[in-house]
Chain A
Amino acid sequence: MILAPAPVADPAAPLARRNPVAKLGAALLFSLPLISTVDPVTPAAALLVELALLPAFGVRMRVLARRLAPLLLAAAGILVSMVLFAADRSGTLLLALGPIQITTGVLTTATALILRIFAVALPGIIVFATTDPTDLADALVQNAKAPARFAIGALAAFRLLPLLGQEWRALALARRARGVDAGRNPVARLRLFASTAFALLVGALRRGVRLSVAMDSRGFDARTPRTHARLQRFTGADTALLAGAAGLAALILTVAVLTGFFQPVIS
């Protein structure tokens, strides 16, 4: 596994080209309302919509599958803990393991929760896979009125990311060279991990201090209003993307309510 923050999608795809703020907003507008229900049908419908839109973002299925892989573990976890700790054990009894009763109700809720995490996560994964960090910072400043010093400061720190990834590997090797390894002892492994993490943090902060001085030397703390070398435009198409995301979410939820599938998360 490597630390690769670069976009992994076709940048020319019609929706990937949209303004980063619009894409991020659309992802949040579409996915957050889905949290409100715990039925299996609503997230399933949302997932279908998301997968249908995938080609418009130029994200390949392979990339998506790789990023989604950790969620499979989470899904397994949900299944196990639902079986053990489900609140609602209505429905037909399928299997009884001592005090634990697995019913159709338990499985329905588990399916609903699993579909829900996929449906909620997917839009964000798609958006971040198609968005360059520099473009995101530019758009946050120019189109979302985020304070430039904070957005650009975070962006500058973000540039250190691959450097710190290499640093982690060097630190791990240096520890072995010093005669420090943990073998299979989990406590020793934890201590080794903590010591490596600490050294990484020291190096990162030292770099951060130098970087901030270098930024100030080029006028980052000048009180003159900043200009923008790169223009991010927020066009009608971006507004349409936002409206479309909100509209689709509303449509899916309305249909769910009308057809009686909707089950509010707080009841």
Chain B
Amino acid sequence: MSEVRIRDFGWRHAGRRAWAVRGLDLHIRHGERVLLLGPSGAGKSTLLAALAGLLPEDSGEAEGTIEIDGLEPRKARDRTGIVFQDPQTQLVMARSGDDVAFGLENRGVPAAEIWPRVSDALDRVGFPYPINRPTAALSGGEAQRLALAGVLALRPGLLLLDEPTANLDPPGATLIRDAVARATGADTTLIVVEHRVAEALELVDRVVVLEPGGGVRADGSPDVVFTAYGDRLAAEGVWVPGFSIPPVKATSTPTTDVVRVTSAAVTGRLDPVSLTVRDGEVLAVTGPNGVGKSTLALVLGGLTAPDTGQVRVTGDHRPPHRWRAATLAGRIGSVFQNPEHQFVTGRVADELALGPRRLGRSPAEIRRIVDDLLDRLRLTRLADANPFTLSGGEARRLSVATALATAPRLLVLDEPTFGQDRRTWRELIGLFAGLRDEGHAIVAVTHDEDFVRTLADRTFPLGAPDPQPLPRRSRP
């Protein structure tokens, strides 16, 4: 159980002009459970890193003080534990039990005590596998549970959670929420950063809203804070419950088939699937992890050849996976889950110019396309920036823009709204709706129920529980 006192705290990362956090005063008592909110860039993650004693002196400039049980955070490290967003970069060892033991070894816990504490921590988070389960074989939600167990095994008095469910699908997020709820009792002080408020609400009894310029904007019980500030927070990008976004569905009925998939299958990754996508519609492909949604996106995008079955795009008798890359980019735009996978140049503007240039557009035309896209996706300010330095929302907008630069008729999106704040989310929805209304066909692989509800004109549930699978008919 720990108590936190923050007095006039500020931190500026080396190489940055702006302060990440500034002028912050906060007192968190023993056993309190706090949700820390604020728009993107308000310094929430920086504050958590500071509390965890993880801001190295050589990487920035500090102001004010933080005390955890009267100690500075670096000295209080054995009282704090932190879980980050990405499970893959928190697991250290190849076997699950070894990973939980890692922190105990570091703290010098005698070998005889380690294994009982490991199994105790795994029980507390409801880890369903034996301790020698390879960490590489875990799903995102399971891996995050393991990361939580690794932290809980150290018995922290102050538990810090930095968007622990942002990288997970809804079932994975539920796993983590339940694990936190069952594993932390009244003896743990909890601070959660989460922009999807509904995910964290049942875990907390106090909400603190940081002001982007510095200081605290609001502080109190969830009811009080959301009644007073809910609309403003929602406008700034926080997912506040009760502020739903009105649906934007297609106004006209689609007429022309753009792509037709007939019994396409990829061995071991995708069971035979048949579907048709028409122009002017948004088709949402949903379904649990592991049924091959991303593989279907690759097949539709002409990036993976189906082992059996066919993919036919109207107007070309050859399947898209046989097209030259430039032809493909001109007709089908694919947007990957991780935007950084798609960046091939060192400048935002060059990223946008690449596609049109490969299609042989004139320099004047390219300039017009680039300027237009920069403007539409609020990237003009970043035209000269390195794509790899963009924030999550910016990188996502850029990756969508690169696919639009060649004006493809079909857009294939893999989890396009994953982990985005509400503001970027609304922009993306507006953009996709506009493209659809211009006549583009859009296929989106998604776990995002809000996306389906708001935008999708049709839903294709992949791998839906089907007691009697369709008999495999004619094989070509």
**A interface residues, Cβ below 8 angstroms from B:** 132-134, 152, 155-156, 159-160, 162-163, 167, 170-171, 173-181, 183, 195, 199, 202-203, 207, 210-211, 213-220, 222, 224-231
**Residues in A whose Cβ lies below 8 Å from that of B332:** 177
Query: Which B residues lie within 8 Å of A132 (CB)?
Result: 94
Q: Is B328 an interface residue (CB 8 A)?
A: yes
- Which residues in B have their C-beta under 8 angstroms from that of A177? 301, 303, 325, 328-329, 332-334, 336, 342, 403
Contact with A along B284-309 (1 / 0, CB 8 A): 00000000000000100101100000
Contact of B77 among A170, A183, A214, A219 (CB under 8 A): A219
Q: How far is the CB of A226 from chain B (nearest CB, A)?
A: 5
Contact of B101 with A175 in the complex, beta carbons under 8 Å: no
Closest residue of chain A to B325 (Cβ to Cβ) is A181
Instruction: List, in ascending order, chain A residues with CB within 8 A of B354's CB.
Output: 178-180
Partner of A217, one of B82, B105, B298: B82
Which residues on A sit within 8 Å (CB–CB) of B303?
173, 176-177
Complex formed: what's the CA distance from A254 to B459 in Å? 77
Residues of the A chain whose Cβ atoms lie less than 8 Å from the Cβ of B114? 227, 229
Q: Which of B85-93, B310-318, B377-385 contacts A (4 or more CB under 8 A)?
A: B85-93
Q: How many whole Å from B367's CB to the nearest CB in chain A? A: 18
Q: Which residue of A lies closest to B104 (CB)?
A: A229
Q: Is the CB of B98 within 8 A of A134?
A: yes
Chain A nearest Cβ from B144, distance in angstroms: 12
Chain A residues near B355: list those with CB within 8 A.
178-179
Q: Which 9 A-B pairs have the closest CB atoms?
A: A179-B329, A181-B325, A218-B103, A219-B106, A229-B101, A210-B89, A177-B334, A224-B108, A174-B341
| A-side contacts of B275, CB under 8 Å | none
Please tell me if the beta carbons of A227 and B84 are within 8 angstroms of each other in the complex: no
Contact for B344 among A178, A207, A225, A228, CB less than 8 A: A178
**Chain B residues with CB below 8 A from A210, complex form:** 84, 86, 89-90
Q: B118: which A residues are within 8 A, CB to CB? A: 229
- Cβ–Cβ contact B340 & A229, under 8 A: no
Question: Which residues from 370 to 393 on chain B have a C-beta closer than 8 Å to any C-beta of chain A?
Answer: 388
Q: Is the CB of B111 within 8 A of A231?
A: yes
Given A159-B91, A159-B93, A229-B111, does the pair A180, B103 have CB atoms closer than 8 Å?
no
> Bound complex: CA of A179 vs CA of B356, how far in Å?
9
- Interface residue? B402 (CB, 8 A): yes
Q: Mark B33-53, 1 if CB is under 8 A from A, else 0.
A: 000000000000000010010
What residues on A are CB-neighbors of B224 within 8 Å?
none
Nearest-Cβ distance from residue A153 to partner chain B, whole angstroms? 9
Expressed in whole angstroms, the minimum distance between the Cβ of A163 and any Cβ of chain B is 6
Interface 1/0s, chain B 336-367, versus A by CB < 8 A? 10101111100000000011001100000000
Q: How far is the CA of A226 from the CA of B333 in the complex (A)?
A: 51
Q: Residue B107 at the A interface, CB < 8 A? A: yes
Contact B340 A199 (CB under 8 A): yes
Which residues of the partner chain A approach B93 to less than 8 Å between Cβ atoms? Answer: 134, 155-156, 159
B157 at the interface (CB under 8 A from A): no
Closest CB of chain B to A51's CB: distance in Å? 31
Give 15 pairs: A residue, B residue, CB < 8 Å, sorted on A: A134-B95, A160-B88, A174-B341, A180-B325, A181-B325, A202-B388, A207-B89, A214-B92, A217-B52, A218-B81, A218-B102, A218-B151, A219-B107, A228-B111, A229-B115
| B106 pairs with A176, CB closer than 8 A | no
Residues of B within 8 A of A167 (CB): 341
**Which residues of B have CB within 8 Å of A171?**
341
State whether A179 touches B330 (Cβ < 8 A). yes
Min C-beta distance of B137 to chain A, whole Å:
10
* B342 near A178: Cβ-Cβ < 8 Å: yes
Residues of chain A lying within 8 A (CB to CB) of residue B150: 218
Which of A133, A179, A181, A183 touches B406 (beta carbons < 8 Å)?
Answer: A179
CB–CB B298/A219 < 8 A: no
B410 to chain A, nearest CB (A): 12
The answer on a CB contact under 8 Å between B341 and A199 is yes
Residues of chain B contacted by A183 (CB below 8 angstroms): 324
Contacts of B136 in A (CB 8 A): 159, 162-163
Partner of B324, one of A181, A195, A214, A215: A181
Contact of A211 among B92, B108, B402 (CB under 8 A): B92
In the complex, the chain A residue whose C-beta lies closest to that of B106 is A219
- List of A residues within 8 angstroms of B115 by Cβ: 229
Q: Is the CB of B338 within 8 A of A180?
A: no
